[in-house]
Amino acid sequence: MDKKTIDALMTRFETTGVVGEGNPRTKAIVGRLVRDLMLAIEELDISAAEFWAGLNFLSEAGRNNEMGLIAPGIGIEHFLDLRMDEAEARAGLKGGTPRTIEGPLYVAGAPVVQGEARMDDGQSPGEVVVMEGTVRGTDGQPIAGAKVEAWHANHLGNYSFFDKTQSAFNLRRTIVTDAQGRYKFRSIMPVGYSCPPGGSTERLLTQLGRHGHRPAHIHFFVSAPGHRKLTTQINIENDPHLWDDFAFGTRQGLVPPVHTNNDAAAMQALGVDKPFYEIKFDFTLHAEQAGAPATDFARPRAAA
């Protein structure tokens, strides 16, 4: 079937059963996607069996809540980040902390702490890490009262809420910066992990000849009144999958040095009997800018 025939078919689809104006934006998006899909079916000679297998796969992935994992796994979420970068550049926004993918494992409602937090519940095994820094605007001035929402996996690569063996909001906190724009938290060092074994994402990646591993990382939302919300993460240096992340989350500027603190006084002050890790990382937020696309938008997210 050639493009002219497909275009005629689309005209028929769009003019049959009309009962109202509908939503012009929805009509434009659906029409484009359906036409492109029909062209792909024609050009790749996709069989009816392959089409229905694909549709059944997507239905199953939805039931398993894995669509939010497949989107980064096939690169779409990273693509959206790059498009946002380009839109901000066109609006005249330069610099700032790089954004990267949110992923599907955020949970709303984490405890709010002023200035400094302990994120682990004291029962989670793992090596202690202390992370701190300052939230600033692109003018270099610290931002007091900014919200730093942090969440990460435990020593097994699992996230609280989704892993029911963990306590509520383990390794999840919202830290409000102090008068100097500073935040600080103590936690355990996360490890890298893989997509659910046997799940929809792993099966798709296997068909694509790819692995499903992520490097160790810590997620962040950083926001403040009058500023654009930042979605980002820092990755832990020296992880074997640091630059081979199946979700394409690693970006330059988001791999801070990890230092080992073996000072006896520092260990005593922290209440630990062995060296611990330290990470220093500052966040830089753009001010709100007319003409730049919104960075805070609705998407499916869990809430405890």
Q: String of b and e for 259-274 (b: at least 16 CB within 10 Å)? A: eeeeeeeebeeeeeee
List alpha helices for the chain, DSSP H: 3-15, 24-44, 48-63, 67-73, 76-90, 200-207, 264-270
CA–CA gap between residue 217 and residue 243 (Å, rounded): 12
CA nearest neighbour of 222 among 258, 265, 254: 254
130-144 per-position pLDDT tens digit:
999 999 999 999 999
96-126 per-position pLDDT tens digit:
999 999 999 999 999 999 999 999 999 989 9
CA–CA gap between residue 231 and residue 223 (Å, rounded): 9
The mean predicted confidence, pLDDT, of the chain is 97
DSSP letters, 225-285, are: TTB--EEEEEE-TT-TTTT--TT----TT----EEEE--HHHHHHHT-SS-EEEEE--EEE
Structure tokens at 60: 């199953």
Q: Is 287 helix (H, G, I), strand (E, B) or coil?
A: strand
Structure tokens at 71: 């989107």
The total of other beta-carbon atoms located within 10 Å of residue 285's CB is: 22
In tens digits, what is the pLDDT along the chain, a chain of 304 residues?
999 999 999 999 999 999 999 999 999 999 999 999 999 999 999 999 999 999 999 999 999 999 999 999 999 999 999 999 999 999 999 999 999 999 999 999 999 999 999 999 999 899 999 999 999 999 999 999 999 999 999 999 999 999 999 999 999 999 999 999 999 999 999 999 999 999 999 999 999 999 999 999 999 999 999 999 999 999 999 999 999 999 999 999 999 999 999 999 999 999 999 999 999 999 999 999 999 999 999 998 999 8
> In this predicted structure, what is the pLDDT of residue 84?
97
CA nearest neighbour of 99 among 288, 250, 225: 250
* Backbone torsion region of residue 60, taken as left when φ is above 0, otherwise alpha when ψ lies between -120 and 50, otherwise beta: alpha
| Amino acid of residue 264 | A
Beta carbons of 189 and 120 less than 8 angstroms apart = no
> In this predicted structure, what is the pLDDT of residue 124?
85
**What distances in angstroms separate CA 153 from CA 100, 157, 158, 218, 275, one per listed residue?**
17, 5, 5, 8, 21
